Amino acid sequence: MGEEQPGSPASRDRVRFTTLWDDFGGRVFAYACRHVDHHTAQEVVSETFLVAWRRLPEVPDEALPWLLVVARNTMSNHRRTDRRRDALTEKMARIEQVAGSAPGADITVTDRAEVLAALAALTSTEREALLLTAWDGLSAAEAARVVGCSVPAMHVRLFRARRRMRTEAATESTTSTPLRVVPQPRSIR
C-alpha cells in the first residue's frame, strides 16, 4: 500500500477531524455533561465525533453549533432507548406476574385435555377474546383494540366464552375435577 502524501484528501480529512476534536471535544463533552451523567456524556461525545467523521464534508466551518446539534440528537436517541427499555422491563414484569399468578391467568384447571376441549367448543371470536385476556394478559379494552371491536362487545365475547367454558366443563367432566373459570380483575389503561 502506498503512503499518503501530505496534502492528499485523506490527509486533509485527518487534519480537519483532529482539529475539530482538539478545538471542540471538550466543549461538546461539557455540553453533554450538563444534560446527562458523566458516562453517558462520554458516549455522546464519541458518537458525535463518529458522525462528524462520517459526514466530514457536511461539517460547516462554524462547526461547534453543528456538533452540538448532533450531540443533542444523540442524547435524544439515548433517552428514547432508555424509555423503550423501561417500558419493555415493565411489560416483562407484568407478563411474569400474569404467568405466575395462576395457570392460564383466567382459567384454573387440572386437566390440559379438558381446557383444550373447552377451547375447541368456543367460536373463533370467543376463543380469541379469552386467549387475549387470559393468555396474553390484556385488559378487555386492550383486547378490543387488538381485534378492532368496542369494549362492550369485547365484554360480551368474554362473558359468552366463559359461560360456554363452564357449560362445556360441566358436560365433559362428570367424574373429573370441574373446570372453574375465574375472572381476574384487570386494570383499564
CB-CB contact of 106 with 183 (8 Å): yes
Task: Assess whether 113 and 92 both reside in one domain.
Answer: no
CB-CB contact of 28 with 45 (8 Å): yes
Inter-axis angle of helices 124-134 and 140-147, nearest 10: 130
Task: Assess whether 132 and 174 both reside in one domain.
Answer: yes
- Per-residue cell: 154: 369485547
Percent of the chain surpassing pLDDT 90: 43
Residue 186 domain-assigned?
Answer: no
CB-CB contact of 186 with 140 (8 Å): yes
Residue 169 domain-assigned?
Answer: yes
Report the distance separating Cα 59 and Cα 25, nearest Å: 14
Residue 1 domain-assigned?
Answer: no
Residue among 12, 82, 19, 6 at smallest CA distance from 49? 19
Task: Assess whether 154 and 165 both reside in one domain.
Answer: yes
Domain range for 120: 102-181
pTM of the model: 0.48
Residue 158 domain-assigned?
Answer: yes
Residues 139-171 pLDDT 10s:
899 889 888 999 999 999 999 988 888 877 677
Domain count, the chain: 2
Task: Assess whether 90 and 121 both reside in one domain.
Answer: no
Task: Assess whether 54 and 113 both reside in one domain.
Answer: no
Residue 50 domain-assigned?
Answer: yes
The residues facing 107 across adjacent strands are: 181
Residues 30-72 pLDDT 10s:
999 999 999 999 999 999 999 999 999 999 999 999 999 999 9
Task: Assess whether 106 and 144 both reside in one domain.
Answer: yes
Report the distance separating Cα 67 and Cα 75, nearest Å: 12
Q: What is the DSSP letter of 16?
A: H
Using the 3D structure, point to which of 99, 121, 141 is the last residue of a domain.
Answer: 99
Task: Assess whether 133 and 73 both reside in one domain.
Answer: no
What does the pLDDT read at residue 34? Answer: 94
